[in-house]
Amino acid sequence: MSPSSSSCTTLAATLWPIENERASRIGRFLILAILGSAALGLSAKLQFSMEPVPITLQPLVLALMAGAYGWRLGLAALGLQVLTGLMGLPTLPGTLGPASLWSAESGFLAGAALAVFVIGYLAERGWDRRVVLSWAAMLLGFVLLYGCGALGVASLLGWAAVKQDLLGALHLSALLVQLGVAALVLPWIWRKVSARQSES
């Protein structure tokens, strides 16, 4: 199947196939959204001490989730994570909380949604089945994420604060490694799925 085909299905739908039962499809959607939200929340809290700043596994989980879920389910999972965080539950990274929508961090929340949309949209068109295209989709998504973050910081604190804030949010080497791992994992799973389907 061509990577640009608009008929590509998501990895999640392939691993959990459901025909046309509306209730079953809604149930699958809700269950996967909750699981994705929980994975995002957990990854935001798992911090590793690295210089110059601690890092989390959230970029890895966000990229994998968006690629496997597609943009609709991915945005639902992200929205559920943000909603629970704004309600006061510890599901958002760092100091993000109920006041995040009115802070300089709001740009990162909007950027995360844009990243999930871009990665998920391209994955639905087969970009998650080849390593190079998968990595390109994820890199594009995270460039947009941090671009929105920079705009959010600049709008409230001025451009002088952008560099310092981005250094606190972005550990470039760790980010690229995590996106590289995600870009390898999705095509690998697709190859396993295709091999199993050809055997049956």
Phi, psi of 56 (to 5 degrees): -120, 175
Phi, psi of 48 (to 5 degrees): -120, 135
Give the CATH number, domain containing residue 68: 1.10.1760.20
Phi, psi of 159 (to 5 degrees): -65, -20
Number of domains composing the chain: 1
In a domain, 4, yes or no: no
State both tokens at 50: 């690295």
In a domain, 91, yes or no: yes
Residue 174's domain comprises: 11-199
Q: What's the pTM?
A: 0.86
In a domain, 2, yes or no: no
In a domain, 17, yes or no: yes
In a domain, 6, yes or no: no
In a domain, 3, yes or no: no
In a domain, 184, yes or no: yes
The tens digit of pLDDT for each residue in 81-138 reads: 888 877 777 666 555 555 555 555 677 888 999 999 999 999 999 999 999 999 999 9
In a domain, 133, yes or no: yes
Q: Is the pLDDT of residue 163 over 50?
A: yes
